[in-house]
Every structure is written in C-alpha cells, then in structure tokens.
Amino acid sequence: MGPQKIILFGGTFDPPHNGHMTLLAGAIEAVRPDLVLVEPAGTPPHKRAGGTSAAHRLAMCECFRPLFPELVLDTTEIARGGKSYTIDTVRQMNVRYPGAQLYFPMGSDMLLWFRNWAAYRELLRRVVLVAHLRTGEDAAPVREYAAGLAAEGGTVLFAKAPVFPVSSTEVRALAAKGRPLDGLVPESVAAYIARHHLYTPAAGEA
C-alpha cells in the first residue's frame, strides 16, 4: 500500500527560513504523515521574475530533512517550468498517489488569498489545508476565513507551532547587506548563502 497521508509543502523557498521550518514542523505534528514532499515552485505566478535558480533553492531545501528523514524534494513544478499553479501539481500527485490524502501547509498570508488561487474550489476538494499564523497578527480574521472555506466544503486544520515572523524577503535584504542571518535561517542555509554569494548585489548563479 502506498502512503496514505502526504504533506505537500509548496513554496518559493528563496531562501527557506525558520518560519518555513516552524510551519512544516507544526504540520507534521498535526498530520503525522507517511510522506512529506517539498515542492519548490518553478516561477510562481505572483512573484518577481529573475529570482534565485531552482538548483540553489532545491539545494537549500535539504534543511527540511531533519524534520522528516524520508523527506522527498520533488521537482515536478521546477521540471514543468513556467508559472507554478498548485492545482496542476495536486492533480499530478493525486494520480501518482491514488487514495492518499494530501495536506497543504500554508501561512496566513496565503490562506487569506486562497479564493484568488486558480481553481480554488477544486483544490479545496483535493487537499486539506494546514494553516499557521505568520506574524503576531490577530487570529480572528484568519479563523473566520478558514470557517468560510469550511462552509464551502473545505477542511482547514491549524498547525500547532510557535509563530515565527520572518520572510524570505527579509532574509534576502539582510544577506544583501552582508548582515548575519543567525536565528532566521537554519545554519545549513546560512552557510549555503555565504558559500554561493547569494543575494549579494554582484551575485552570480555560480
């Protein structure tokens, strides 16, 4: 029998940071999955072009492995190229893992935007959302939005984890100024960024 409960963790991961770690750890705690797929986006629909190469982002996602040793870094969206739509990936995973329930972790910023996602009603039928607050924001509007999605037939769980308000944008800005990233990203990510001179003004893709 194949895996029954699969966490599909999608993101740009440019770079992965401790907010992502906290979200994934909380989702693993809530779901107790048989399999965790980390899915770095190709070119995400709502993000700037010209970001860090997929190879670099994929390599940095190794930082998630201590959370779940059999973690799979999946390259479906990178291989597809172009803009990444979660619904396309989810349809593919439903074919690849028939009968498995997919769980999709997301921060509150993404959750509150969910009705703008491509084919969101179909997505609601195909995945259980695992939400987590991104900042020390008021939880009430997030709970209310989640209740609205539940009324449309979706299922929204909340990750049990501390809130860790950091963003990749903030990490890139600090790295560009040569500032330390201690505590914001896993050590392996900080070392990778330094080794490859990522996010510095003269950064190459070497």
Residues that bind ligand ATP (CB under 6 A): 11-14, 19-20, 22-23, 106-107, 109-110, 132, 134, 164-169
Do 10 and 44 meet the contact criterion of CB atoms below 8 Å apart?
A: no
Do 163 and 135 meet the contact criterion of CB atoms below 8 Å apart?
A: yes
Do 84 and 41 meet the contact criterion of CB atoms below 8 Å apart?
A: yes
User: How many CB atoms neighbour CB 4 within 10 A?
Assistant: 12
Q: Which is nearer to ligand ATP, 86 or 100 (CB)?
A: 86
Question: For residue 15, what are the contacts with CB-CB under 8 A and spacing of at least 6?
Answer: 52, 57, 60, 168, 171, 172, 185, 189, 192, 193, 198
Q: How far is the CB of 98 from ligand ATP (least distance, A)?
A: 26
